[in-house]
Amino acid sequence: MSDRQFGELRASSLYCTRCGTAQPVRERLLLVLPDRELHEYVCATCGDAVGTKEVSAADVVSARLAQRRGGRQVRIL
């Protein structure tokens, strides 16, 4: 059970305090910064914000590279 320590949150559903149970969420781009993006998870049922996620620019880039199956990892600082 050590898989969780890097906790990549692939949130298709999250616990919503207002609904009192896990709900499907929608991801919304909240803010774009030069080095990262801020995403927000909104409960699809009541519309409350239930969480946020930061995606670093390097992650965005490597995700795009992975799509192209280039295989080489590029680090951008």
Least separation, in Å, of the C-beta of 65 and Zn ion? 36
SS (H, E, C) 29-48: EEEECCCEEEEEEEECCCCC
Q: For the chain, where are the alpha helices, taking DSSP H only?
A: 57-67
- Position among 11, 13, 14, 19 found at the interface with Zn ion (CB under 5 A): 19
- Token representation of residue 7: 């906790």
Query: Does residue 49 bind Zn ion (CB under 5 A)?
Result: no
Closest CB 14 distance from Zn ion, rounded Å? 9
Residues that bind Zn ion (CB under 5 A): 16, 18-19, 23, 43, 45-46, 48
